[in-house]
Structure 1
Amino acid sequence: MGLKRPTGNALAAALQDRIGYAFRDSALLQTALTHSSAVKAKTNNERLEFLGDRVLGLVVADMLFSLFPEAREGDLAPRFNALVDARTCGAIGLELGLDTLIRADAALKAAKGGRTGNYLSDAVEALIAAIYLDGGMEPARAFIRRYWEPRSRHVVEKPRNPKSELQEWVAQANGTRPEYSIDAREGPDHQPVFTVSVRVDGFAPTSASGPSRRAAEEAAATEFLLREGVWSREGAVS
């Protein structure tokens, strides 16, 4: 049996040093770290995630505008996209140790790849909203700059789009288009799992799963590109 997750003031104390903020309303923090899949949960972080996404976008845009005064919009946009991407938020969630603190369905937390990254990313955005609601914009801004500013100084690129790259490669290879089909849809309505196959004339199909049809299609396209040597395993992971 795993260790019991802290709640209330104990949860706020466990995160205080990591986030650089002391919550006045610990219940708000607890909601931010409660996923919609959590059994018997009366509240979840979906509304907070919606708000946190907007706060994150505003602060990151303002941060980049200040840090790179000579950069053109075309240079700022891909850097912004990479910083607010779910993979970046998920990585920060792991850095914060949120995977040990989030209340969620055990199967979801045990899953690998995209599903795991999504629930961590959602929690990070909800955490931003909770800080904003509890203390205002300045504590939220300070938290975001603490974790996102160091990443902003690295050379970042727009996340690769496997479906677009596969379509371009297939068009050059045989002049056709990849075709996607849903093989299965499992799980409850609030946490579905789609399995999708992609087929290309003259090649064996590949299939993959994800929390949405789009995510599953992207995963299947990625597997095809990796199998055919168009992408390298290292280059596909950012």
Structure 2
Amino acid sequence: MSVLAPETSEWLAELGIVPADETRWLAALTHGSLGSETNYERLEFLGDRVLGLAMAEWLFEASEAAEGKLSQRLNALVSRQTCARVAMQVGLPQHIRLGKQAHDDGARESTNILGDVMEALLGAHFLDFGFVPTRDLIRNFWESEFMGGAGKSKHPKSALQEWAAGNRRKPPEYELVAREGPDHAARFTVRVSVKNVGDAQATAQNKQEAERLAAAAFMEQFG
């Protein structure tokens, strides 16, 4: 008897996946808010490493770029934001198993949770089928991100740092303005300022992303 919900089994089949160990996939889709001893955290740890290796191999094959450029693209392609976008594209959110409070708090739309569960699924796939089939799955799921601009342009914080130096300004300063919401669905607002120029701020689901968005907003306004 299947331990997965019928709609989840159908969704996986549509993706070309027939789990060998359904309990593993159930764990990959289970958030800690359900109070279960088995959730996605261990599988996410494994899937993160599998994704990194698969993406590094893909980049090495596809580009003659130097190590720095390869690392820049790798970091962008395996980031929580990219993993979350892929999760949305393949229809993952509705299959995440959440406790009531996490559901009510909007955890299903959380970039962090979507990214983590996406990696947990890769971990489950790796354990069921091995590296090569999982690598092929990653190349299928990540194709639009890989062929697009992810990681090709300079990170906004680096661009802002260079802009400030080039214009003989003091380095940009980042300040956490607010942190709101529960831990699993927190929202961070960050302000970046350059003395005698101005400031900009942005809000995101983690501090690093808020800083990135704030830097991008600053460059759009003053750069």
Query: Could you list the per-position Cα deviations for residues 68-100 of structure 1 after superposition, in whole angstroms to 9, with x for gaps in the alignment?
Result: 5xx254464444344323333222212210122
Distance in 1 (alpha carbons) for counterparts of 2:81 and 2:13: 24
One-letter amino acid matched to 1:13: E
Distance in 2 (alpha carbons) for counterparts of 1:150 and 1:199: 34
One-letter amino acid matched to 2:160: L
1:13 aligns with 2:7: no
Distance in 1 (alpha carbons) for counterparts of 2:73 and 2:113: 23
Identity among equivalent positions (%) equals 39
Distance in 2 (alpha carbons) for counterparts of 1:154 and 1:214: 22
Q: 2:31 — aligned with what? A: 35
Q: Report if aligned partners of 2:94, 2:108 keep a CA contact under 8 Å in 1.
A: no
TM-score between both structures, scaled by the size of structure 1? 0.74
One-letter amino acid matched to 1:108: G
Q: 1:175 — aligned with what? A: 169
Distance in 1 (alpha carbons) for counterparts of 2:191 and 2:149: 34
Equivalent residue pairs, number:
216
What are structure 1's unaligned runs of at least 5 residues?
A: 1-6, 231-238
Q: What is the root-mean-square deviation of aligned Cα atoms in Å?
A: 3.0
One-letter amino acid matched to 2:202: A
* Equivalent position SS for 1:97: coil
* Equivalent position SS for 2:142: helix
Q: Report if aligned partners of 1:78, 1:156 keep a CA contact under 8 Å in 2.
A: no
In structure 2, do the counterparts of structure 1 residues 219 and 80 end up closer, same or farther at CA, with 3 Å as the change threshold? closer
One-letter amino acid matched to 2:20: R
What is the correspondence of 1:35-74 to structure 2 with a 5 Å cutoff? Answer: 35-36=31-32, 38-67=33-62, 71-74=64-67
Q: Report if aligned partners of 1:8, 1:30 keep a CA contact under 8 Å in 2.
A: yes
Distance in 2 (alpha carbons) for counterparts of 1:193 and 1:159: 26
* Equivalent position SS for 1:8: coil
In structure 2, do the counterparts of structure 1 residues 217 and 157 end up closer, same or farther at CA, with 3 Å as the change threshold? closer
Distance in 2 (alpha carbons) for counterparts of 1:198 and 1:155: 25
Q: Report if aligned partners of 2:190, 2:203 keep a CA contact under 8 Å in 1.
A: yes
* Equivalent position SS for 1:100: helix
Q: 1:108 — aligned with what? A: 106
1:24 aligns with 2:20: yes
Distance in 1 (alpha carbons) for counterparts of 2:29 and 2:153: 27
* Equivalent position SS for 1:128: helix
Compute the displacement of 1:58 (Å).
1.4
In structure 2, do the counterparts of structure 1 residues 177 and 65 end up closer, same or farther at CA, with 3 Å as the change threshold? closer
In structure 2, do the counterparts of structure 1 residues 26 and 48 end up closer, same or farther at CA, with 3 Å as the change threshold? same
Q: 1:3 — aligned with what? A: none
* Equivalent position SS for 1:34: coil
1:97 aligns with 2:91: yes
Compute the displacement of 1:33 (Å).
2.0
Q: Report if aligned partners of 1:32, 1:126 keep a CA contact under 8 Å in 2.
A: yes
Q: 2:215 — aligned with what? A: 221
Q: Report if aligned partners of 1:194, 1:212 keep a CA contact under 8 Å in 2.
A: yes
TM-score between both structures, scaled by the size of structure 2? 0.79
Distance in 1 (alpha carbons) for counterparts of 2:47 and 2:159: 31
Which range moves more in the overlay, 170-179 or 152-161?
A: 152-161
Distance in 2 (alpha carbons) for counterparts of 1:78 and 1:167: 17
What is the correspondence of 1:133-212 to structure 2 with a 5 Å cutoff? Answer: 133-149=127-143, 151-153=145-147, 157-158=151-152, 160-212=154-206
Q: Report if aligned partners of 1:52, 1:127 keep a CA contact under 8 Å in 2.
A: yes
Compute the displacement of 1:190 (Å).
4.4
Distance in 1 (alpha carbons) for counterparts of 2:61 and 2:220: 38
Compute the displacement of 1:151 (Å).
4.9
